[in-house]
Amino acid sequence: MATTAVSPVEETLRHLHEDASIRTRSAADLERLRRRAGGALADAARDFLWQKDPTASARLGITPSQRNSFVLLAALLFVAAIIGPLQKLIALNLGVTLFYLFQAGLRSAVLSLSLAQPRRLTLPPPPIAPEERLPPFTILCPVYDEAESLPHLVGSLLLLDYPRERLDIKIILEADDRATIAAARTHCRAPMFDLVLVPPSAPRTKPKALNHALWTAKGDYIVIYDAEDRPAPDQLTLAARTFAALPDHIACLQCRLNYYNRDTTILTRLFALEYALLFDMTLPGLAALSAPVPLGGTSNILRTDILMAVGGWDPFNVTEDADLGLRLHRAGYETRLLNSTTLEEATDETGAWLRQRTRWMKGFMQTWLVHSRRAPRTGRFGHFLTVHGVVGGTVLAALINPVAWAIYGAWILGVDGIARLFPTPLNVLALTAFLGGNLLHLYMMMIAPLRRRWHDLVPYAVLSPLYWILQSVAAYRALWQLIRRPSYWEKTKHGRGLSPEETLRWHSTLRQ
């Protein structure tokens, strides 16, 4: 991270955090501290990362050098199409083919590492420590328009097998969300709960809300749970003991995520397959490659001091989780996967899924733009794999897939003229990339659920191409939003979620 002189805002907030961590004992004390901080807290929620390092924030958008590069590339493609269209189309086809081969190679490496050492990144729990030695934890729960789901979220948090006097649970609410505030005041009366009201201001994003609560966090560690999350009851205890056995440069433990309502529709089944592949294979494989891990949006457990040292969350990035994982790696820290699962609610309606996926794709575009600005001093190979292979590669594949599939399909079917784009030996490479790459991805989707013995999901993997088409639709929506509304947050509406009793029953049957 770039280093700058400490600003007055940062100095005020450092004192605020020290007061919150050491001297306060009640929610009333914390509220007085927040009022005392006044505008400094609101400014920091928006500007803290920006003041530390403007180039690390999506607020900057596309830099002049990036814009010039895109314009130059577009101009070269236009001129090339006029001067020698066939040769340039062949060269473009070669570029797409090499990209697909790179993606297939990255998947193969991840698959090999995941299968060869399936528990490489999971440490055995250390000997049980006395309760009084367990560190304090801050739980951040950003909720907006979640009055219906909040009671069951609170019930699930109370299931956590962790000393309550060492829990600092912050329910983060938008100050104008009256229904959810009323529900929180009704259900969050235990001493460990602290209601944090975020004043309405731009950008209205989850990371800005998280930053607003960060400076009054009392825990040595911070974990994020969304309204629909149902963490395993022993998750925090396992995390505390695992951190105690890890070196200090391990800044984050990412829990595994998946869905309790996976059997609702075909869409939820495909969503569950995707998450099984991501959290049980891809992310562990990236960590084994010493590459940065793009965090999931929830159940990432962070060392509080390191989180503040790297600037908290970027309020202008709508996938603040992925961005934070890359920033931690750039600062010299690493992430490990914790063998504990948090259950979530999958969106089961196509329109809601598209809105959610549009936000994720847009955030990946923002993250790629930010982390393409400069390479880190160390770990450049891993940085390249994640930034360009996973983050940028996910977006690029979704954007070019419809066109590439149409051309490849027309070539395989023998449509007149298309074969001219596939001279020897490009035709062999293209066939390998198109068929081999897609079959490999399908194979990985099929074996991912087997680790959890979800055999009933395996046949649905053959429907993955339909899922990929939806991803392409979301990617083009995201590209449009990136230009028009870069920090716009499309809210995902959730149902009531699992009750505490249902949560216990699900976790008792879950295979990690």
Which pLDDT does position 145 carry in this prediction?
Answer: 95
Does residue 4 register a pLDDT over 50?
no
What does the alpha-carbon distance between residue 59 and residue 54 come to, in Å, rounded to a whole number? 8
Which pLDDT does position 106 carry in this prediction?
Answer: 93
* Percent of the chain whose pLDDT exceeds 90: 70
Q: pLDDT tens across 146-197, in order?
A: 999 999 999 999 999 999 999 999 999 999 999 999 999 999 999 999 999 9
What global pTM score does this model have?
A: 0.92
Q: Are 319 and 357 in contact (CB under 8 A)?
A: no
Q: Are 367 and 323 in contact (CB under 8 A)?
A: yes
Which pLDDT does position 478 carry in this prediction?
Answer: 98
What does the alpha-carbon distance between residue 360 and residue 366 come to, in Å, rounded to a whole number? 10
For the chain, give percent helix, strand, coil, nearest 5.
Answer: 60, 10, 30
- Give the H or E element holding residue 152: helix 150-157
Give the chain's domain count: 1
Query: What tokens appear for 447 in the block?
Result: 């074996």
Does residue 25 register a pLDDT over 80?
no
Which pLDDT does position 121 carry in this prediction?
Answer: 44
Which pLDDT does position 184 carry in this prediction?
Answer: 98
Does residue 127 register a pLDDT over 90?
no
**What are the distances in angstroms from CA 419 to CA 191, 304, 406?**
71, 57, 13
Which pLDDT does position 374 carry in this prediction?
Answer: 82
Q: pLDDT-based confidence at 344, cuts 50/70/90?
A: very high
Domain harbouring 143, CATH code: 3.90.550.10
Which pLDDT does position 31 carry in this prediction?
Answer: 73
User: What stretches of 126-248 adopt beta strand conformation (E)?
Assistant: 137-143, 167-174, 193-198, 221-224, 230-231
Print the domain residue range for 15: 1-512
Give the other-Cβ count within 10 Å of 119's Cβ. Answer: 11
Cα dihedral 81/85/88/92 (nearest 10): 80
Mean pLDDT (the chain, rounded) = 89
